[in-house]
């Protein structure tokens, strides 16, 4: 059974800082991994999808890395802004299914 852990659970940083969010998963037999952000009371917004064959995926100020063999993924956010404040969730997916397994997320607060 896949279990996902995200560390830290909460993070507060001043605007402009670069930061790293961590995600670990117990079953390395994944097909891909997706990072999302969730604003309070809202749905999930997809940030990045990284395939199991990839090491990194980039979108703007965001960079996700994946080390499938060690069961780890990181999300790097460059030059953080107050608008980045949200809960960030990672979710690996096995092949043959659309089922995503989520961690509890990292709640990020970027202070102006």
Partner 1 sequence: KAGVTQTPRYLIKTRGQQVTLSCSPISGHRSVSWYQQTPGQGLQFLFEYFSETQRNKGNFPGRFSGRQFSNSRSEMNVSTLELGDSALYLCASSFISGKAAEAFFGQGTRLTVV
The footprint of partner 1 (CB under 8 A) covers 31-32, 34, 36, 41-46, 49, 51, 89, 91, 95-105
Between the alpha carbon of residue 104 and those of residues 1, 4, 36, 45, 54, the distances in Å are: 16, 8, 12, 16, 24
CB of 55 to partner 1, least distance (A): 16
CB of 95 to partner 1, least distance (A): 6
Nearer to partner 1, 11 or 49 (CB): 49
CB of 76 to partner 1, least distance (A): 20
Nearer to partner 1, 71 or 92 (CB): 92
Using only C-alpha atoms, the chain has a radius of gyration, in whole angstroms, of 13
Are 77 and 109 in contact, with CB atoms under 8 Å apart? no
The structure tokens listed for 49 are 């999808």
């Amino acid at each position: 059974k896949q279990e996902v852990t995200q560390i830290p659970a909460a993070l507060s940083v001043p605007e402009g800082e670069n930061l790293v969010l961590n995600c670990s998963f117990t079953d390395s037999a994944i097909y891909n991994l997706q990072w999302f952000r969730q604003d309070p009371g809202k749905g999930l917004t997809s940030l990045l999808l990284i395939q199991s064959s990839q090491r990194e995926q980039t979108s703007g100020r965001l960079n996700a890395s994946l080390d499938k063999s060690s069961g780890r993924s990181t999300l790097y956010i460059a030059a953080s802004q107050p608008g980045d404040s949200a809960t960030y969730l990672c979710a690996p997916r096995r092949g043959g299914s659309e089922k995503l397994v989520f961690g509890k997320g990292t709640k990020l607060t970027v202070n102006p």
